[in-house]
Amino acid sequence: MKPTLQSTATPKYPTTMGRLFAIAALIEALTWAGLLTGMFLKYVTETTDLGVWLFGRLHGAAFIFYVVIAVLAAWRLRWPWWATVLAVLAAIPPLVTLPLEMWFLRRGLLTRGVFQDSSPQNSAARAGRRGTTE
């Protein structure tokens, strides 16, 4: 029987905070799309301003929710400073939060401890601080 190699790659499954960030990014993008549609109906076709009225409020709440979740995710998942800045700035232009979330998922930023040193010495030091073993 041939020995198999164990994979030490970072798992691509997001943590709970990573999933919450992905949900916030989706909500923010959907409300942006609704607001853009509402603006088209109000200013181009001049049919109704209901879309701007409704999605303006929804997008305002979604924007605040996304920024709060992005900062919490950056703190909990220990993102580098550049990832935090990108996540917050992605909320400003329309529909940028979705590709950013996909990129973060591919890079492993939505999994726990991505940028932590995983050497045996560092793992032992972290375990000693928590009082548990890994």
Residue 23 belongs to a domain: yes
Q: Does 2 fall in a domain? A: no
- Continuous segment of H or E residues that includes residue 71: helix 50-76
What's the pLDDT at 7?
A: 45
- pLDDT over threshold 60, residue 70: yes
What confidence tens digit (pLDDT) does each residue in 115-133 have?
544 445 545 444 555 555 4
Q: For the chain, what percent of residues have pLDDT higher than 70?
A: 75
Say whether pLDDT at 33 is over 60. yes
**Has residue 57 been placed in a domain?**
yes
pLDDT for the residue 6: 46
Give domain status of residue 58, yes or no.
yes
How high is the mean pLDDT of the chain? 84
Q: Is the pLDDT of residue 2 over 60?
A: no
Residue 73 has pLDDT above 70, yes or no: yes
- Is 5 among the domain residues? no
C-alpha dihedral over 16, 19, 20, 25, to 10 degrees? 160
Q: Domain range for residue 118?
A: 16-130
pTM above 0.95, yes or no: no
Residue 6 forms part of a structural domain: no
Q: 10 Å Cβ neighbour count for 98?
A: 17
